[in-house]
Structure 1
Amino acid sequence: MEDTYGFIGFGLIGGSIAKAIKKAKPDCSIIAYQPDHNTIDSHIENSLLLAKKECIIQIITTSLEAFSCCDIIFLCAPVLSNIEYLEKLTTIVKPDCIITDVGSVKGNICNVASSLSVCKNFIGGHPMTGSEKTGYENAKEYLFENAFYILTPNIDTKPEFLTRLKQFVQSINAIPVILDAKEHDNIVAAISHVPHIIASSLVSMIKDNDDKNHTMLSLAAGGFKDITRIASSSPIMWQNICLTNKESIQTFLTLYKDTIDSFLQLLVPEKEKELLHFFENAKEYRDSIPASVNGILSKTYELYLDIIDESGAIALVASLLASHKISIKNIGIIHNREFQDGVLRIEFYDIIAMEQAIVLFQQHNYTIYER
């Protein structure tokens, strides 16, 4: 008999997990929870209906009792809500059910789990991938391919449950990594939470200091957009993250502030060598990040292509790629001052496809920009 999976929360991550499950196990059953109609967002309700129409969800339920038959339950709501649902599931789940979450903070929910009767059933989870786009409509079955998927068992977790969840993670083509909950929270504060706060702060700095004609906004080009991309993520999610991982975030924000203060001391003529050394060290370390594995900020495989300003130019590029069986993930025209002429941005699923496209475009005398 195929497994039954339960989902509480069905946005980008929950929807992507469900799609990945259906790809790996087409005959499995997926149950999704729909909150009370008096409190549910119409967007959530529409997402669940769409997922059922697409045959990703088999059952939409308004009662948590329906999760009593589940083999694995995924808590995919905001961090604080996940804790509330975990407590409610305590008397519902069957003995061999695994409960896991997908939140970016593990300490709070793992501490709560350790005090509940389901402590042996719960394993914290954090798929380290995603997008600034939210909602089920942006969910992708391949979102977890080659992405790290952190698991944070507690001292009471049954070893066979951890083995089962590791095997599940591998079945959706992700890479399981076992960490202590506190260690996890420190790591993600440094490489995810603080960078998000910095990105949002940069956007706020521009907003607060722009002129009445919004000149800064209109001139913001690729570099600013790239470094602030994550500031477009869900505000509610990031509010929850900051409230539940405050201690680790404070630690690394303080370290970042110290780095900025040190950098300010280099902005004098006699410190030109130290200034160069600062950027050289940063470049060397940044370039050492592996390109083959997705992190919090997933590796993108993209190039920028000069196109002729005439009708059919984009169709010609797409046809050229299709004729050589090169799939693209995304395509669009860049509208900013970074490039003098019209430039087409093309994103690929992997580096092999991108390299094949580069050779192909060079053979047809296109001008290519790589970043």
Structure 2
Amino acid sequence: MKGHVFVIGLGLIGGSLALCIKQKHPDSTIIGYDINDEQCKLAKMLGVIDEIADTIEAGAVQADLIVISTPVKETEHILELLNELPLKNNVIVTDAGSTKEEIVKKALCLKEKRITFIGGHPMAGSHKSGVTAAKSILFENAFYLLTPQEHIEKDKIDILKEWLSGTKAKFLILSPEEHDYLTGVISHFPHVIAASLVHQAEQTSQDQNLVTRLAAGGFRDITRIASSSPEMWRDISLHNKKVLLTLLERWQTEMEKVVTMLKEENGEEIYNYFFDAKQFRDELPIREKGAIPAFYDLFVDVPDYPGVISEITGYLAEENISITNIRILETRETIYGVLVISFQTEEDRERAAQCIKHYTDYETSIGP
């Protein structure tokens, strides 16, 4: 396809979408805008975009496809602005936000001008941010949720899918309401719980100094998502307030059930509670990408001596395997420590495991 694509918001998601479109449709012109001028300059320098728009107005009026990749509250303001502009008749507008019902309602103003808006949510991310973290493989095999309204013609959806086909994602069509409920259950609600666990640990640490030290292992891993942008999660929580309140009420009921089991010392029910949770969790897809970014961690049992980290990373460098993060878990009682290495993809993690096995006798695992 050939045309002008205007990407508003040149962070990780917007930049990665721009790369995917540019790679699949090399004859198209990618125009970018970001409120941060430095992000625009970096995007142009890195070849993520072809041109920089000085304003949203300047980039939007010539676009055949407009991709809004900004915080959800900002997306609402941008939709209002687009409604005031003389856009092309055949332009398609989409977004990449984590909530859909409020956004789609706001986009109804475009319907009166016969402008096609199709809500979108690529369910992939990274632990890094900014356009420098953008990569064309970010969405590969991830779910890409589209939430078109009933009046949107199928051929418009097909055109958008073709524009986005370079993501190599799996497209699913949902209603905005269904989208917000599902993402509430498997993404928004877990973020609230993770934040609450961290708050509880922080409060406990005021009396127990060892909390922060012991939390360096598994606790830090299960609460990783609490490190996400507070501004973003403030907006998402307010947008999806109705779903979150329902889920929190159910959570309170669930915790009351646990309290009852513990007070009654009902060993059989407690066992079944954990067994049923384990069974359902173990049946979840391992290699599928979901709403929360996957962590491709490799755990390596290494002896505690100087130079062991450089030894391992040296082997990985020889095999041209890139890592995204590395750390040692300190909560060990033996002379061995656990080196935790994070990778960008499942393939990189598998290659790393084979590499370490080839060069050393250190045990590796991918964790639970």
TM-score when normalising by structure 2: 0.90
Which residue matches 2:366? 370
* More displaced stretch, 130-139 vs 148-157: 130-139
8 Å contact 1:18–1:30 — kept in the other structure? yes
Deviations 1:143-182 (A, max 9, x none): 1111101000012212211011122333211111100000
CA drift at 1:359: 4.3
| 2:256 is the alignment partner of 1:256 | no
- Aligned partner of 2:106 in structure 1 is 112
| Equivalent AA in structure 1 for residue 75 of structure 2 | N
Q: Structure 1 253/213 Cα, relative in aligned 2: closer, same or farther at 3 Å?
A: closer
Matches within 5 A, 1:337-356: 337-338=331-332, 340=334, 341-356=336-351
- Residue 99 of structure 2 is aligned to residue 102 of structure 1: no
- Give the counterpart letter for 2:33 in structure 1: Y
Q: Percent identity?
A: 36
Does the 8 Å contact 1:220/1:336 carry over to 2? no
Q: Return the offset for 1:367.
A: 2.4
Q: 1:330 aligns with which of 324, 329, 332?
A: 324
Correspondence 1:85 to 2:81? no
Write the mapping of 1:275-294 to structure 2, written as runs, cut at 5 A. Answer: 275-294=270-289
Q: In structure 1, which of residues 125, 142, 146 is the aligned counterpart of residue 120 of structure 2?
A: 125
CA distance, structure 2, for counterparts of residue 370 and residue 350 of structure 1: 13
Report the secondary structure of 2:93's partner residue: strand
Q: 3-state SS of the aligned residue for 1:307?
A: strand
| Root mean square deviation, CA, Å | 2.4
Residue 16 of structure 1 corresponds to which residue in structure 2?
Answer: 16
Structure 2 Cα separation of the partners of residues 338 and 108 of structure 1: 48
1:148-167 equivalences under 5 Å are 148-167=143-162
Distance 1:135 1:352, change over 3 A: closer
Q: How many residues align?
A: 362
* 337-346 vs 62-71, which moves further: 337-346
| 154-163 vs 215-224, which moves further | 215-224
In structure 2, distance between residues paired with 1:254 and 1:98? 39
Q: Does 1:57 align with 2:42?
A: no
- Written as runs of structure 1 = structure 2, the 5 A alignment for 1:25-64 is 25-35=25-35, 44-63=36-55, 64=57
Question: Secondary structure in 2 aligned to 1:345?
Answer: strand
Match of 1:221 in 2: 216
Distance 2:49 2:274 in 1: 49
Cα distance in 2 for partners of 1:119, 1:80 equals 23
Q: Is 1:137 the equivalent of 2:132? A: yes
Structure 1 position 34, deviation (Å): 4.1
CA distance in 2, matches of 1:166, 1:73: 13
Query: Is the alpha carbon distance of 1:240 and 1:368 closer, same or farther for their aligned partners in structure 2, counting shifts above 3 Å?
Result: same
The code of the aligned residue for 2:108 comes to S
Q: Could you tell me which amino acid in structure 2 is paired with residue 2 of structure 1?
A: K
Q: CA deviation at 1:322?
A: 5.0
Gaps of 5+ in 2: none
Distance 1:362 1:125, change over 3 A: same
* Correspondent of 2:233 among 226, 230, 238: 238
Instruction: Using the TM superposition, give the Cα deviation of residue 231 of structure 1 relative to its aligned residue in structure 2, in angstroms.
Output: 1.1
Deviates more, 1:223-232 or 1:314-323: 314-323
Distance change in 2, residues 1:291/1:369 (3 Å): closer
Matched with 2:202 is 207
* Distance in 1, Cα, partners of 2:296 & 2:12: 21
**Which of 270-279 and 174-183 deviates more?**
270-279
SS in 2 for 1:266: helix
Distance 1:3 1:225, change over 3 A: farther
The aligned residue for residue 4 of structure 2 is 4
- AA aligned to 1:366 is Y
Amino acid across the alignment from 1:283: K
Residue segments in structure 1 that go unaligned for 5+ positions in a row: 36-43
- Note if contact 2:8-2:68 (Cα within 8 Å) is conserved in structure 1: yes
Classify 1:351/1:135 alpha carbon distance in 2 versus 1 (closer, same or farther; 3 Å).
closer
* TM-score of the two chains, using structure 1 as the length reference: 0.89
1:15-57 per-residue CA deviation (whole Å, 9 max, x = no partner) reads 221222233334432222244xxxxxxxx22222111111222
Opposite residue 44 of structure 2, the aligned amino acid is: K
Whether the 8 Å CA contact 1:6–1:70 is kept in 2: the answer is yes
| Residue pair 1:7, 1:75 contacting (<8 A) in 2 also | yes
Contact 1:32–1:48 under 8 Å retained in 2:
yes
